Amino acid sequence: MASETTSAPSKAPPNSLKDELAAALPAGFTSKIRYIRSPSKACEPLFSALPGQESEKTRLASHFLAVSVNPASLSHLNVGTSGDAGTDVISFAIEALVYSTRRLTTIFVSKVDSTPFTPRIKPSPTKTTVTTFLRWLAEQERRKHPKRKVVISLFARAQAQYLFPGSSDDKTKHVLDDRQLIKWWARVLDPIIPSNGPNDGAEVQHQAYLTVPGYANTELRSFMPPGSTPTAAQPRWLPGNPLLELARARGIPEHAPPRCLLPRFPDDPKARFMQDLDEEIGINQDSQATVSPTKKRSGRWNSVRDLDRFWEAMEFRQECSSGRVVGFLWLVISPKGSDDEAAPEVTTSSQVDSQDSLTSFSTPPPSSDPMCVDDPSKPTAGSPKKRRRKPLTGPIVPRQPRLKGGSSSVSNLADMQAELEAKAGDGLLVSKEGYDKAMQTLLHLDFANLQGAVRSTAKWVAEIRGVTGLSGDLAVEVVGTAKVEAPPAAPATNGTSAVNDLGGMIRKKKRKPADEGPAVAETREELAGNEQPAVNVLGGGMIRKKPKPAAS
């Protein structure tokens, strides 16, 4: 499953998601995939801005992949020839959020969940599909921006269910505990790292990181995949986090306030902790805390001054101290030369000398000279260059009307259906509102039993059809072609049953030396017969009995 190429994106057309999954899934495994995605829209910044500067413009696109199987293929269920045998039921699904800025692309794994209706085969279809989908998604982003860093980020927190309500009521669902979940995610991300040589001479470098609050760096080895931390100079997995490396890629100095180095993902334990720290210094508008304006504008927390102290404080948060373990994992994909182009935007000697000063991250004020007049054609000292927009000329071309509730630019259902078939499983683009509606519908269904799960799958498919205006199902069939190596079989015995050989466990009696005569042999037997037993037995003469008292 590991990638075999470490060079820059080639000019050859990329494989579709259907082809990638078919090549990775085990041979004979048949499933249907339903892949929807929303267009990239402007969203709230993922990182807080430096004091005195504007936030990074960030765009967000959502991706959701659901894999369904035929209930008749599930060996652990007694489906038989019931009415559910000819339909499909959702087996597992994954949701990923892609945040894009000018210098960094972040793929955040929002949710991954399975139902009790997952095939019990090896290799696991769930693990294989999640690995293949994340690798394919990262490759798509790299093709769009070859010189931009791509980071896959997630946090592992064990719960009984995420996406499928009622699925935990079925005892056949395989639910992992906290430690098992962290190890599972490490095994999911590890095959994305190429295994055909070190990163030193590669065009694209991969590096994985793992942080578990409350665990020392030496204790994190137990969570990492076996064989992933060789004694080489650059191991595949490192304890810690890449936040300082990502800050350099974004053009942010390393001594910036910690709140500017940490991302804020939805439903993220560390994002809730950051919000509490912001309220202490009055950055949150709803906070009633009274702090000095200088501390509020400096952007530095009172109790947490750096990243190391932040992770130490995370140990005592409710998510990490309630008897459960939470893991934070990153996989950084760095094209060659991406770090050289991302120099900090504002780096002066005064920043190093005084990190807490208000002018450390602020831009110089504009000139107060009355003779200085703003010229739109020339950039000013305190603002970026503004381009004057040219007036539009030429004939007015009317746009084609869009379908109600859909986001495709085609004008009829036939063209939309053809576009979906041409992409061969690369996903159906729906509006942000339609995507959110489909996800909300999924979260209100019932997957407690097979019959209910089949009906819920049909309802969710019907909701997508109503949102997109499709006349048919958007499912794409995928048949696995990967050969699974069978375990080595026992040697043939020409039709006879195997016999247990206990030859190595039999203790043979020592032979008598050939050069010893009969007299010597008899002497040895007498000595052996007169040997003392292993337990010391006291003779009768060595026992002192207590005399009996005389009768009066």
Please list the pLDDT of the chain residue by residue as tens digits (552 residues): 444 444 444 455 678 899 999 999 999 899 999 999 999 999 999 999 998 888 899 999 999 999 999 988 887 666 554 444 458 999 999 999 999 999 999 999 999 999 999 888 889 999 999 999 999 999 999 999 999 999 999 999 888 888 999 998 888 888 899 999 999 999 999 999 987 654 556 789 999 999 999 899 889 999 999 876 655 567 899 999 999 999 999 999 988 999 999 999 998 889 999 999 988 888 864 444 444 555 556 788 888 889 999 999 998 887 787 778 899 999 999 998 766 555 544 433 333 333 443 333 344 444 444 444 444 444 445 555 667 778 888 888 777 665 554 444 444 544 454 455 445 567 889 999 999 999 999 999 999 999 999 999 999 999 999 988 888 888 999 999 998 776 555 555 454 444 455 555 555 555 555 455 544 455 455 544 555 555 565 555 666 666 666 665
Joined tokens for residue 306: 């750096």
Catalytic residue among 268, 356, 415, 436: 268
Per-residue CA distances from 522 to 87, 388, 525 (Å) = 86, 119, 5
Contact 194, 5 (CB under 8 A): yes
Count of other CB atoms within 10 angstroms of residue 507: 5
Instruction: Give the whole-angstrom CA distance, residue 95 versus residue 66.
Output: 9
DSSP-derived secondary structure letter, 370: T
Q: State yes or no: is 515 an active-site residue.
A: no
Count of other CB atoms within 10 angstroms of residue 145: 17
Number of residues in the chain = 552
Question: 216 CB contacts (<8 Å, ≥6 apart)?
Answer: none
pLDDT of residue 89: 94
Assign 159 to helix, strand or coil.
coil
Instruction: Give the whole-angstrom CA distance, residue 112 versus residue 96.
Output: 9
pLDDT of residue 536: 60
Joined tokens for residue 235: 């191991």
- Residue 169, classified by CB atoms within 10 Å of its CB into exposed (0-12), middle (13-18) or buried (19+), is middle
pLDDT of residue 373: 42
Instruction: Give the whole-angstrom CA distance, residue 273 versus residue 352.
Output: 27
pLDDT of residue 279: 86
Cα dihedral 471→473→474→480 (10° resolution)? -150
pLDDT of residue 41: 94
Buried b (16+ CB within 10 A) or exposed e, 270-299: beebbeebbebbbbeeeeeeeeeeebebbb
Instruction: Give the whole-angstrom CA distance, residue 348 versus residue 360.
Output: 8
Instruction: Give the whole-angstrom CA distance, residue 513 versus residue 521.
Output: 9
pLDDT of residue 424: 55
Contact 334, 149 (CB under 8 A): yes
Contact 76, 172 (CB under 8 A): yes
Kind and range of the H or E run holding 125: helix 125-144
Question: 15 CB contacts (<8 Å, ≥6 apart)?
Answer: 23, 136
